[in-house]
Structure 1
Amino acid sequence: MGICDVIPGISGGTIAFITGIYSRLINAVKGFSPQLVIDFFNYIFRKDKKYFLEDIKRLDLGFLIILAAGIFTAIFLGSKIVIFLLENYFMYTISFFIGLILASSKSIYDKIETHHKKNRLFGLIGLLTGISFAFLIPVDIVPNLPYVFLGGFLAISAMFLPGISGAFILLILGLYEFMLNVLHNLLDNILIFIVFGIGALLGMFAISRIVSFLFRKDRCKTLYILLGLVIGALSIPIRNIFLNGSWDILNIIVAFLFLLLGLISARSLDKINNKKNEKD
């Protein structure tokens, strides 16, 4: 997820779906409720630890810590590798990720239980929304702290939605290169990073509750919207390949092989997850 989150057009939420952790991620983040904050301050100032410890037990902390460690490691270390690959092997790298995304759309479709026309209409709405992102033009703005906060809120919200790339949202907001420079010079930009992080935390808590509510309200329609977003948002990396790729026959063949590699890798991982779930 962390590696994908630094590539505009590639969604970390899609990777969460491929790896089978999406629902667990949403539920784990949703566990951080306002009541937890109240109980935490009661624990600090009143030494009333009863409710706070009960809240902690309900959290999937082990999962979140491991996931967060992986994401931050990938963002800080993997971002340099990904930037190298994009600069030197752009067409092959993006083709691999397109293969992953295509496979994830099949995984989402398999989870949908009913396929009547009304549900498919929601899929069409998601599809058109995803395609529309390819036509957005990045703004040219000098970032200030409130704008960085907004960027963190919107980017992390996008990362939790399969098909929508948080990095692409930052690109549209004119914050992508700015935040990459912040990460690579963190000590000199610690205040900016903290403000971005606060916005991201609030966005994460908000979107997890919205997605959880939608799944409870109508799981099939929600999955169809996500499916449409995933397929529609493919227009972003595909457009990038058409604009920046090299179209001699050898490059086309190699890119197609990398697309197949991504597709096969994701499908294999999906089958492993399905077998694991059957055993559980």
Structure 2
Amino acid sequence: MNEKIKLYLKGLLMGTCDLIPGISGGTIAFITGIYDKLIKSISNISLKLFSDGIKYLTNKTPETEKEIRKDLKEADVYFLLTLGLGIATAILIGSKGIKYLWINYYTFTIAFFAGLIIASSKIIFDDIKKHSKQNIFFGLIGFVFGASLAFLIPVNAAPSHLYVFIGGFFAVSAMFLPGISGSFILLIMGLWDFMINVFTDIPGKIDYFIASASGALIGMFFISRVINFLFTKDRCKTLYFLLGLVLGSLLVPFKRIYENTVEWNLQTILLLLGLFFLGIIAVLIMHKLQKKKTPKTLKS
């Protein structure tokens, strides 16, 4: 199979998982063996590329053409464009299916998502090497912050364009974090279902789409550097904070299940539990596949 087609298909898989809270597209990148190349390509995109691009467009000379070609090669822009096209295709098409489930099977979909999210916390915990009291304290801070979101985020209020921009900014950080997906970030911010509606009606909500995409593009370059700094400074404290954030924010889906379940009977409870555990199993299987793909040198 053509390498570009393979890369596009990997993008489709990443985009599909990016729609679901609890499954990170970054995890899929790990499993399919393109994670390192993806991070390297993004980190190689700099202001120099944009400035050289402007120089080339305004003054086409052999020198400016040589510089822009060099910049494009270093950032592997064609790799990013092919992968990005696959991700975008999956999001635009897959969001319609997710929206159908959200409208017709709301609480059951949330239960599945809750299982995905709680399993993600195990992935983060497994990556923590030191369990000191100080590190655990950072976990408690994350838990309080995450739990507060269940009560501070207005679920039904129409978000502002600035809030959607901020959501896109932070959601893209999932590409660089273990066990956290962009959809999970949007879910705890009260934006996930709103953005699904945006993706299924882009012509009618193009302003919100641009706000989210702009936030994601800026966040892609900024957040990656911040996270890299925090991980370098103190990886364990950062991971404990993220672990607390994930566990605390579980109140968001559980609160929605409680508020929206019309009839509590044995059949409903068993179905909710079944979907919850199915979500846990799905993430653990993906994590196991990821660990098999990750070289031992990266695990140490």
TM-score (norm 1): 0.79
Asked if structure 1 preserves the Cα contact closer than 8 Å seen for 2:96 and 2:200, the reply is no
Q: Structure 1's 231 and 181: CA in aligned 2 closer, same or farther, altered over 3 A?
A: closer
The verdict on how the C-alpha distance between 1:270 and 1:182 changes in structure 2, with shifts beyond 3 A counting, is closer
Cα offset, 1:35, TM superposition: 2.6
Paired with 2:275 and 2:197, the residues of 1 have a C-alpha distance of: 30
CA contact (8 A) 1:130 1:229 kept: yes
SS at match of 2:144: helix
Alignment of 1:1-280 (within 5 A): 2=15, 10=21, 15-16=24-25, 18-19=27-28, 21=30, 24=36, 28-46=41-59, 47=61, 48-59=64-75, 61=77, 64-65=80-81, 67-138=83-154, 147-148=160-161, 150-159=162-171, 160-161=173-174, 162=180, 165-166=185-186, 168-169=188-189, 171=191, 177=194, 182-188=198-204, 190=206, 193-245=209-261, 246-278=263-295
Q: Which residue identity lines up with residue 292 of structure 2 in the other structure?
A: K
Query: SS at the partner of 1:187?
Result: coil
| Cα deviation, residue 51, structure 1 | 4.2
How many residue pairs get aligned? The number is 268
Distance 1:129 1:255, change over 3 A: same
Deviates more, 1:101-110 or 1:86-95: 86-95
SS at match of 1:218: helix
Evaluate the alpha carbon distance shift between residue 88 and residue 122 of structure 1 in structure 2; reply closer, same or farther with a 3 A threshold: same
- Percent identity for Structure 1 against Structure 2: 40
Distance 1:74 1:238, change over 3 A: farther
Change (3 A) 1:115 1:137: closer
* Alpha-carbon offset, residue 170 of structure 1: 5.8
Q: Where in structure 2 are there 5+ consecutive unaligned residues?
A: 1-13, 175-179
The one-letter code matched in structure 1 to 2:258 is: F
Unpaired segments of 5 or more residues in structure 1?
none
- Alpha-carbon shift at residue 263 of structure 1 (Å): 0.8
- 1:69 aligns to what SS in structure 2? helix
- Residue pair 1:157, 1:166 contacting (<8 A) in 2 also: no
Q: Which amino acid in structure 2 is aligned with residue 153 of structure 1? A: F
Over 3 Å counting, the alpha-carbon distance change for 1:248 and 1:131 in structure 2 is same
**Residues 173-203 of structure 1: per-residue CA shift (max 9 Å, x gap):** xxx64x6565444335545543543343223
- Report if the CA contact (8 A) 1:31-1:58 is conserved: yes
Task: Indicate if the aligned counterparts of 1:153 and 1:202 stay in contact, CA closer than 8 A.
Answer: no
**3-state SS of 1:257 partner:** helix
Pick closer, same or farther for the CA change 1:218–1:279 going to 2, 3 Å: closer
Q: Per the alignment, in what secondary structure is the counterpart of residue 55 of structure 2?
A: helix
> In 2, Cα distance between the equivalents of 1:139 and 1:254?
25
TM-score normalised per structure 2: 0.74
Root mean square deviation of aligned Cα: 3.3
Describe the shift of the 1:18–1:186 C-alpha distance in structure 2 as closer, same or farther (beyond 3 A). closer
Deviation at 1:255, TM superposition (A): 1.2
* TM-aligned CA distance change 1:4 to 1:272, over 3 Å: closer
Q: Please, which moves more after superposition, 73-82 or 122-131? A: 73-82
